[in-house]
Amino acid sequence: MSPRLITPGPPPEKIRRIVVRMANWIGDAVMNIGLLAALRDTFPQAHIVAVARRGPAIVLEHQPHLDEVHVLDDRSHAGRRAFQQWLAREKFDASFIIPNSWRAALPFWRAGIPVRVGTTRNLRSVLFTHPIPFLPEDLHQHEVLTTRLLISPWRDPESLPRPVLTLGITAEERAWADEYVTRIAGDGPLACLNPGAAFGGAKRWPPERYAAVGEAILNDIGMSVFVQAGPGEEDMAREVCNATDAPLHNASGELTLRHLMAVLERCSMLVTNDSGPMHIAAALGTPTVAIFGSTDPVNTAPWASRAIVVQHRVPCSPCHLRNCPIDHRCMTGVSVEDVLAKVRELDSAP
């Protein structure tokens, strides 16, 4: 790796209040937890606050490395003004800005926070007291490791242990999930199908193939199956369930985001597109089969030992487009048997 010129940070004991601007998507925010763990280890005495939009903020509730989560509304003028006023009142000693945009970094510069750390992507060095050079090779490593580069003014990220992503779930949420899972699966194992992906259609495997996988999991492997759908994805869950006579449970409208987290923790298997639930399940240790097409698993594969990526390589992938302008060949090239082979592999693993 090319050398980075890093300005050393002040002594950790001088930093008592830290604010972290998290990524805007749920899955990306889960991958940011590797940085939160490094911050907690480096600044054990500090009060650490995560700033995140509503979805990521909900997922980060009860996160063990955080003391507080502040919900960000930066889509309206009033919300941006309120956030700027909040930053001024809180008097943070250090800020870590994960998103790569000027819009994300400007409020922290305007607030005059003494230590401001972020990458040099998009020519933003002027906004930071401790800019982290972004190198070409950073495009070819996992987002968990790229995000953790922000600890560089204090520690060499490459010398740190492999990041472990953790999410917090309360006893009440686990009790709710126990009742829900028992209602669907009795005392048996439960699998989840996640046919949606918030970013766009290019990341979605066909619903009828999810249905075929669900039917095989139910009949051949012996797991009960439910289909989860996020807001606006209810039609996808309905399409999956309608494409088979197998009794797949349609969970549309039954699970809040926090309830989904607790249920995924109880699941024996998740079959999913590259999505927020994929990263949540990986952080919870749920065996996960992840289907990739328009995005690159080098950067965003589930960060877990009990996860397998299924991918059909084509010249135009990864394109990172919301919707495929041609024939969606990266996804249609993934067969039902390709996915089932990985499901069986994970199911038979010790």
Of 126, 159, 192, which closes a domain?
159
Q: Are residues 177 and 145 in the same domain?
A: no
- Please give the mean pLDDT across all residues of the chain: 96
Token code pair at residue 196? 């949606």
pLDDT of residue 198: 83
- Whether the CA torsion 198, 199, 203, 208 is positive or negative: it is positive
In angstroms, the CA 343 to CA 217 distance is 8
CA angle, residues 209, 214, 216, in degrees to nearest 5 = 100
Q: How many CA atoms lie within 13 A of 77 on its CB side?
A: 0
- The two beta strands, 288-292 and 307-311, are parallel
Whether omega before 161 lies within 30 degrees of 0, making that bond cis, reads no
Token digits of residue 210: 């999810």
Are 219 and 139 contained in the same domain?
no
Supply the range of the domain harboring residue 85.
12-159
pLDDT tens, 322-348?
Answer: 999 999 999 999 999 999 999 999 999
Confirm if 192 and 267 have CB atoms less than 8 A apart. Answer: yes
Q: Which long-range contacts (CB under 8 A, 24 or more apart) does 120-123 make?
A: none
Count of alpha carbons within 13 angstroms of residue 240, beta-carbon side: 33
| In a domain? residue 202 | yes
Sign of the torsion angle spanned by Cα atoms 17, 164, 260, 205:
positive
Q: How far apart are the first and last CA of the chain?
A: 36
Instruction: Identify whether residues 83 and 192 lie together within a single domain.
Output: no
Asked if 48 and 104 sit in the same domain, the reply is: yes
Do 109 and 187 share a domain, yes or no? no
Residues in the chain: 350
**Structure token digits, residue 57:** 């903020």
> Do the domain assignments include residue 204?
yes
Taking the C-alpha atoms of residue 250 and residue 130, their distance in angstroms, rounded to an integer, is: 49
d(CA 297, CA 306): 15
Kindly state whether residues 186 and 308 are assigned to the same domain. yes
Nearest to 84 by CA among 60, 112, 56: 112
R_g of the chain, CA atoms, integer Å: 21
Contact at 8 Å (CB) between 122 and 116?
Answer: no
130 within domain boundaries? yes
Residue 313's CATH number: 3.40.50.2000
Structurally, how many domains does the chain consist of? 2
Residue 26 domain-assigned?
yes
pLDDT in tens, 1-36: 456 889 999 999 999 999 999 999 999 999 999 999
Do 153 and 178 fall within a single domain? no
Q: Are 27 and 117 within one domain?
A: yes
Order of strands across the sheet that contains 269-273: 249-250, 224-227, 190-194, 269-273, 288-292, 307-311
**Residues in the chain with pLDDT < 70?**
1-3
Answer yes or no: do 336 and 214 share one domain: yes
φ/ψ of 117, rounded to 5, equals -120, 135
CA–CA dist 241, 189 (Å, integer): 19
Whether residues 188 and 307 share a domain: the answer is yes
Asked if residue 229 lies in contact with residue 196, where contact means CB atoms within 8 angstroms, the answer is yes
Residue 164 in any domain: the answer is no
- Strand ranges for the chain from DSSP E: 17-21, 47-52, 68-71, 94-97, 115-119, 130-132, 190-194, 224-227, 249-250, 269-273, 288-292, 307-311
- One domain, residues 198 and 101: no
In a domain, 5, yes or no: no
Position 239 in a domain: yes
Same-domain check for residues 102 and 250: no
The rounded distance, in Å, linking the Cα atoms of 38 and 86 is: 25
Residue at which a domain ends, from 159, 182, 204 = 159
Chosen domain end from 159, 191, 206: 159
The reported pLDDT for the residue numbered 5 is: 87
- How many helices (H) and strands (E) are present in the chain, helices listed first? 14, 12
Angle (deg, nearest 10), helices 336-348 and 207-216: 40
Is residue 4 domain-resident? no
